[in-house]
Amino acid sequence: MTLPAAVVSFFFSSAPAFADLKICNRMSYVVEAAIGIDDKAATATRGWFRIDPATCRVVVQGTLTADRILLNARALGIYGASPIPQNGNDMLCVAQDNFVIAAARQCRGGQTQVPFTQVTPTQGDDGNLVTYLAEDSEYDDEQARLAGIQRLLVIIGYDVGAIDGVDGPKTQAALAAFLKSRGLSSDTVSSQNFFKTMVDATQTPSASGLTWCNDTPHKVMAAIATDDGKSVTSRGWYRIDPGKCLHPDVSGQPKQIFSFAEAVDVDNRAIKKDKPLNWGGDKQLCTRETKFETNEQTDCAARGFAAAGFGAVDMSSGGRTLRFAVP
């Protein structure tokens, strides 16, 4: 599945800063958001706030005193190459897990700089301030929720047709099959925890498709490549936490699938024992340090990429689980 050219849209107008600040997600991705508060030349950041499609999350309660409000959003690692481009001019510090950083312009150990975008939220009907995350598809809440369900069904291994936020027979059949496989009732779909249920399903071994399982004590970042007979497309990175599994999204019927993964530390540096701790093979394909997707596999270095050795995955039985372990 090729990720769409999604954008983050911020709808804004002038508004007083005496109410709660909410972020509302109208994307088809479960996202995590971080905010920056710039006040009298001091800048603090906090995150991550998980926000499901078609839901809102209060990120600041009560009176907000700030010269500027800034925002960074990321899709969960299960989606692979991020569909959320960040083009802000403020480089502020974040941590991989939940964090509060009082001085966010000078990073310490375990922190990295990412671009934040300045936003000026609107005032909603309830008196609170709100900022929306949106794709170029311009989904409303109902469409965003359905598109989010469709996207996760594809990752889990079901065929929904197009990911478009439009209901149809394929989506209904896939959703019914998923609910049956988990022993869930149809009422579960409208529950507040349904996206958590679906995300959890992407992180358990599956009898169909490709599954990565991390049996190491380290975080593992993985990349996948597919050969459709015309070109080879490599895509990454997918984050797999210790003890977790994950299904990379693969659409269609590729002629061949390739996999590469490496263990990294808290600063996302490759872990080396006597040699780097990675799992791959002899097929040299293009990757880069940040999230990527490319169907050009020649002259990697000249295009700002690096070559990594991918291993071919035998999918002849319909499903394959690759387990990453320390030798």
- pLDDT winner (highest mean) among 92-106, 153-167, 200-214: 92-106
pLDDT for 231: 93
**How far is it, in rounded angstroms, from Cα 35 to Cα 51?**
13
Pick from 195, 151, 153: which is nearest to 3 by CA? 151
Secondary structure letter of residue 276 according to DSSP = B
Q: Which two tokens stand for residue 252?
A: 């269609």
**How far is it, in rounded angstroms, from Cα 187 to Cα 166?**
19
The helix/strand/coil state of 173 is: helix
Q: What percent of the chain has pLDDT over 90?
A: 54
Q: Is the pLDDT of residue 309 over 80?
A: yes
The helix/strand/coil state of 142 is: helix
pLDDT for 23: 94
> What value does the mean pLDDT of the chain take?
86
How many CA atoms lie within 13 Å of 263's alpha carbon, on the beta-carbon side?
Answer: 20
Q: Which residues on adjacent β-strands are paired with residue 213? A: 245, 323
Q: Compute the average pLDDT of residues 191-196.
A: 94
Q: In this structure, how many other beta carbons lie within 10 angstroms of the beta carbon of residue 99?
A: 16
How many CA atoms lie within 13 Å of 269's alpha carbon, on the beta-carbon side?
Answer: 7
The helix/strand/coil state of 1 is: coil
Q: Compute the average pLDDT of residues 282-302.
A: 92
Pick from 326, 325, 322: which is nearest to 310 by CA? 322
pLDDT for 70: 93
Q: Which two tokens stand for residue 145?
A: 């929720």
How many CA atoms lie within 13 Å of 152's alpha carbon, on the beta-carbon side?
Answer: 29
On whether the CB atoms of residues 93 and 101 are closer than 8 A, the answer is yes
Q: How confident is residue 152, by pLDDT bands cut at 50, 70 and 90? A: very high
Least confident of 215-219, 227-231, 249-253, 280-284: 249-253
Using CA atoms of 55, 59, 64, 68 in order, give the dihedral in degrees to the nearest 10. Answer: -90
pLDDT for 11: 39
pLDDT for 158: 83
Report pLDDT digits (tens) over 27-85. Answer: 999 999 999 999 877 899 999 999 999 999 999 887 777 889 999 999 988 887 666 76
Least confident of 23-27, 118-122, 255-259, 293-297: 118-122
Measured at the alpha carbon of residue 193, what is the angle toward residues 188 and 199, in degrees to the nearest 5?
Answer: 100
**How far is it, in rounded angstroms, from Cα 33 to Cα 46?**
9
pLDDT for 6: 40
Pick from 261, 259, 278, 258: which is nearest to 327 by CA? 278
Q: Is the pLDDT of residue 2 over 70?
A: no
pLDDT for 151: 92
Please tell me which residue, 209 or 303, carries the higher pLDDT value.
303
Least confident of 23-27, 82-86, 187-191, 309-313: 82-86
Please tell me which residue, 101 or 63, carries the higher pLDDT value.
101
pLDDT for 18: 53
Q: Is the pLDDT of residue 175 over 90?
A: yes
pLDDT for 15: 40
